Amino acid sequence: MDKIKDIELRAGASASGLVKQLESTGFQATHLAEAVEIIREMKRKQHTVFLSFTANMVASGLRGVISQMCKEKFVDAVITTAGAIDHDIMKSFNPYYKGSFDADDVKLHRKGINRIGNIFVPNSHYELLEKKFQPMLKELHAENKTVSPSELNKFIGGKLNESSFLYWCAKNNIPVFCPGITDGAIGLQMYFFKQDFPDFSVDVTKDMKEFSELVLNAEKTSGIILGGGISKHHVIGASIVRGGLDLAVYVSTASEYDGSLSGARTHEAKSWGKIKEKGKSVTVVGDATILFPLIIAAIKEEK
C-alpha cells in the first residue's frame, strides 16, 4: 500500500508540485490529484472532451477559467444551462459584486439586488440584458425563424467581448449546447419577443442530431462535469449510445444519498452505461470555484 505523506509547503511551490503532494494526502486531496491525471490523459490521448457546468459557475470568477479553456480549445463542446448564458452576457458589460451569504435578503430585494450565494447582481443588469438581447433576437429572426440553442449561443457569442466563454466558443467553433434554454432570463426575454414575433422559435430537438453525432463519431470521449443537473445528465445520458464515456471527472458538492442525479458519483453512472465499465473516473467532492482552478493550473504547468 502507498503511504500517506505529510504536505510540505515551500516558498515558490507550483500548483503542479502541490497537486503531486496531494496525491499522497488522503481524503478529497487524493481525488483531486487523480482528477488532474485523468484530465491530462484526456488531452494526451486526444479525446473529444465535453465540459458541462451550471449557471452559478459563470456568476462566479470561475467564468475566467472556462473562457480560457474555450480560448485555448481545451474542450470540444460545452453543455450548460440558460442561466450561464444570462451571466455571460451580463458580465460582458458589467461586473457582478462580492456580497455576503448572511445578507438581509428582504433588504436586498427592496434595493433591487439579487443574491447568488455571496454574489450580488443588481436589477439594472437584467435591464441591460433586455436592452442588449432583444436587438440580437430581431437580427437573428431576420435571418432564420427557427434556430437551435447552439445556433443561438453562437450568434450571441459573436456579439460579446473576449471575457466571454460564448465569444471564444463562437470564434473557435465549439458548440454550446443548452437543453434547458428557456429556464433563465433569456427564456423570459424570448417569451417577450414572441409576443411580437410569434413565428420565432428555439428548437431544442434541432441540436440532438449534432450532439449525438459528436458523441457517436468520436474515437474516444471524456467528460469534465462541474456541478449537476441537466448539464451533467445531457453529457452522460447521450453517452449511453456509445457505451459510455471513456474518462470522466466530476466536481460537485451534492450528496448521493437522496438518489439525485446531481449527487450521483461516477461509479453509479457505470451501472447505466454512461461511463464505460473500465473507464477511469473520479468524483471530487467540493466547491468547483476552489478546486477547478487548481486542477487546470496544475495541468497547464506541465504541458
Catalytically annotated residues: 274
CA distance 86 to 221: 28
Residue found by looking up cell 467532492 in the block: 285
Residue 77, phi then psi, degrees to nearest 5: -160, 150
Nearest-CA neighbor of 224 among 212, 214, 208, 236? Answer: 236
Compute CA distances 50 → 96, 163, 232, whole Å. 27, 21, 10
Instruction: Measure CA 281 to chain center.
Output: 18
Contacts of 92 (CB under 8 A, 6+ apart): 160, 161, 163, 164, 167
- Long-range contacts of the stretch 20-27 (C-beta < 8 A, 24+): none
